[in-house]
Amino acid sequence: MPKSSQKQIILSKIKNGQVVIGIVGLGYVGLPLALAYAEKGFHVLGFDIDPKKIEALDRRECYISHLDAARIGQAVQSKRLVATTDFSRLGEADTLIICVPTPLTPQRDPDMSFIVNTTKQIQASLRAGQLIVLESTTYPGTTEELVRGMLEETGLICGRDFYLAFSPEREDPGNAQFFTTNIPKIVGGVDQDSGDLAQALYDQVIHQTIRASNARTAEAAKLTENIFRAVNIALVNELKVVYERMGIDIWEVLDAASTKPFGFMRFNPGPGWGGHCIPLDPFYLSWKARACGVDTKFIELAGEVNRRMPEYVVQRLQQALNERGKSIKGSKLLILGLAYKKDIGDVRESPAYQIIPRLIGMGAQIAYHDPFVPAILPSRHWPKPLALMSQPLTSKAIASWDAVLIITDHTSVDYELIAKHAKLIIDSRGVYRKPLVNVVKA
């Protein structure tokens, strides 16, 4: 079939709502996107290697706390969303959107195993006329070099037989103002036709698409967004430490600086960085830059500063307990908040996962409260056989702990109750702005 005719067939299916959309990876990125297409009337095939996710969706249940379970129920009941672990069905989809994790190795190099394994699955059933879009955050060149190279091993040629693009995810879990469909979407094709088709696909559900000239530029744009945040978070975290030594409250400084109507953008300090993007994505560029013979000093320094923050919080806790004649060993400590940010249940790369093992290793007795994380079971993040349940916040319970350590500032927590009854509060989020005798900023 002529190249132009193949493109027109896919384009016509997209615009007529007849295209079958496959989404690989039904996590924090893939599931909201699948719902967005299903709610616009498209038929969506969702793929995931985790059978528990598929079983939950079949029961019309939602495993992501900030998503409305009613949306899941409607999409599944209408048969607009069908979820499966059967990757042999990838060939049924006209377009495939890859939304799989891109973690780091222990050496802080890119772990491309999820992208590679997914591409191998697609490779096994790739057919002429399919459009493949990678959304997973990665280093510039991944889509064109790695994914294209693997898919063309089938003998099919990108831009002639199949189409390939990159469109970075921009999810912000729990953000009530910005969500999947109203966040502008960057799209960059490996070639012109691939970019045209990918843009047309996202135009069906996204309010605004931004066309990059190629996939590499789109990949670099995503990394730049998160590197900008990582560097500025590191800056305010370093200022927090400096100003504490000077007896200056970083939160008051930021409040004052924020009154400037130009030339200043506020970032808040915390107990460390968290989420799947900020702690990981900058090092994808660092790795690629090293391969090109270039050092990324700002990125590495920002990583160093942010990785030190959990230890700084522990040191502030230790100092505050010492001043009250206690040691961490044997102390009863309440960790307030496990999620990496407020009002969601996402614990990926949360600084709590760095702080709790340190405290346990120092002999502390640990309890926690998080309204969005009801239980923690043993995993690679937690010393076995540690298994904890979120504890209720009562005046009696609060008074029984030697210290309350605020890691995540969920808005539903009664901070006045805690301030009234806690012996000691270590505040790493600036919850308490007015000085209190039992509050120590960290």
What the block records as the tokens of 349 is 């790369």
Is 277 assigned a catalytic role?
yes
> Length of the chain in residues, anyone?
442
Rama region for 315: left / alpha / beta (φ>0; ψ in -120 to 50; rest): alpha
CA 173 to chain CA mean position, Å: 8
Does residue 269 have a cis peptide bond before it, meaning omega lies within 30 degrees of 0? no
Strands 81-84 and 43-47: what pairing?
parallel
**What span, in angstroms and rounded, lies between the C-alpha atoms of 292 and 286?**
10
Q: Cα separation of 155 and 199, whole Å?
A: 26
Written as six digits, the tokens of 271 are 């107990």
Could you please report the per-residue DSSP string of 283-294? Answer: HHHHHHHHHTT-
Q: Which two tokens stand for residue 306?
A: 């942010």
Tokens 């899941």 map to which residue? 72
**First CA to last CA across the chain, in angstroms?**
65
Helix (H, G, I), strand (E, B) or coil at 246: coil
Q: Which helix (H) or strand (E) holds 298?
A: helix 297-323
The one-character DSSP state at 26 is: -
The tokens for 53 are 């996710």
For 159-193, b/e burial (b = at least 16 CB within 10 A) is: bebbbbbbbbbbbbbbeeeebbbebebbbbbbbeb
> Which residue shows structure tokens 């945040």?
229
Per DSSP, the three-state class of 142 is helix
Question: Residues 214, 189: contact at Cβ < 8 Å?
Answer: yes
Which candidate in 62, 99, 158, 277 is catalytic?
A: 277
Distances from the Cα of 159 to the Cαs of 2, 194, 320, 411, in angstroms? Answer: 11, 6, 63, 49
- The token duo for 286 is 């660092």
CA distance readout (Å), 191 to 15, 107, 121, 363:
20, 34, 23, 58
Residues involved in catalysis: 277
